[in-house]
Amino acid sequence: MKKSVRTRAATATALALAASAVLTACGGGDGASSDTKAANDSPGPKPVAVKNPLVATFDGGLYVLDGESLKPARTIELPGFNRVNPAGDASHVIVSTDSGFRVFNAAEQTFTGVEYKGAKPGHVVRHAGRTVLFTDGTGEVNVFDPEGLSGDKKPQGRTYTSAEPHHGVAIELGNGELLSTLGTEEKRTGALVLDKDDKEIKRNENCPGVHGEAAAKDEAVAVGCEDGVLIYKDGEFTKVDAPDDYGRIGNQAGSDASPVLLGDYKTDPDAELERPTRISLIDTRTAKLRLVDLGTSYSFRSLGRGPHGEALVLGTNGTLHVIDPETGKVEKKIPVVDDWQEPLDWQQPRPTLFVRDHTAYVSEPGKRKLHAVDIASGEKLTSVTLPKSTNELSGVITGH
């Protein structure tokens, strides 16, 4: 089996970076606008060199930040609501705008000429040396090797189009199998698996409201359902039922160092915004689900995994919870930011967790701050105050 990009991201520690967890509306914002000229020709001094850059979005643009000092190196003007995910290599990130997915060279602090156009760009997934983009408005899936992003031309890759456009997600496994969700704009039902020649080999439609994905050790892949999760492993689907009739696990974080997946857990289908205090731990070896009450709520941007498979959850009490995925025990509570409350509008800023190697990066938009924390020691490494409050936070993949 090939090592995944998550594994390669920290070869010394088998880090699985899980920054792709997103809530129900995961594409570029409705009514957002992007300006290619403004994005590439922003006024200002020549970009300064940055080490392992981070990229944070704000209302109207992007900050490129040094991965160690956290100091902003360049501001990129980009109107509208934009999203950002790791591209899977040491130089690039994927920026989602209203026009589609755009490739941004964070090392050089400029957009490349590569764009995957399409309405409502959604999930970005990295696994097994491949990056997979799902465009909700068209149902198109694009798969490529992120190491091929160095030029201004699209890297060679695989394209698949879903039967119907929907808010979906896809992941390619090490053997070339492609798992992709099933659904329409009105209803999502499950997932199918295609072989490397795009022939359908498996299908399971016992996953209402399918949303999100995560990969665990030994390449067990799960997608979330409104009544549990659906695991695909060794060529077979297995349904893990939630203990409640409605037990939605829509956001997950996986690690190649752990067979246990971390998920959120919601039980009120009628809530305008449910603020859950329990998280789910799904053991892909036994297909068992454990619930852990943290005593504090969290948001869809709160989940991550540490370098040794630790489950990480940023609570609204301002604390980063470090959880043993095998036992469910909260082993460490690291105070990082002030108390906060998740806003009703999912596009509004809230403290956001991004994990890379041994460092947890946490934004604090209420104070325009960004913090870096050492996961092992709990020490706050550095903090910076930015000109504007940030929303999403991501970065390049290190360890190449």
- Looking at the chain, how many residues does it have? 400
Helix (H, G, I), strand (E, B) or coil at 6: helix
Give the residue-averaged pLDDT of 262-291.
97
Does the pLDDT of residue 241 top 50, yes or no?
A: yes
Q: Provide the mean pLDDT of the chain.
A: 90
Name the DSSP class of 148: G
DSSP 221-284: EEEEETEEEEEEETTEEEEEE-SSSSEE---EE--TT-SEEEE--B--TT-SS----EEEEEET
Backbone φ and ψ for 103, nearest 5 degrees, come out as -90, 125
Across 12-129, the runs of DSSP E, i.e. the strands, are: 54-58, 61-65, 72-77, 83-86, 92-97, 100-105, 110-117, 121-127
Longest CA span, the chain: 57
CA dist 157 and 131 (Å) reads: 10
Query: Is the separation of the CB atoms in 84 and 78 below 8 Å?
Result: no
Q: What is the pLDDT of residues 49-63, one digit of tens each?
A: 899 999 999 999 999
Other CB atoms closer than 10 Å to residue 321's CB: what's the count?
Answer: 23
Query: Among 239, 232, 247, 284, which residue's Cα sits nearest to residue 262?
Result: 284
Query: Is the separation of the CB atoms in 41 and 91 below 8 Å?
Result: no
Q: Return the pLDDT at 22.
A: 33
Query: Among 276, 281, 320, which residue's Cα sits nearest to residue 295?
Result: 276
Query: Is the separation of the CB atoms in 246 and 297 below 8 Å?
Result: no
Query: Is the separation of the CB atoms in 125 and 20 below 8 Å?
Result: yes
Name the least confident of 1-5, 40-44, 163-167, 202-206: 1-5
Give the residue-averaged pLDDT of 201-230.
98
Predicted structure pTM score: 0.89
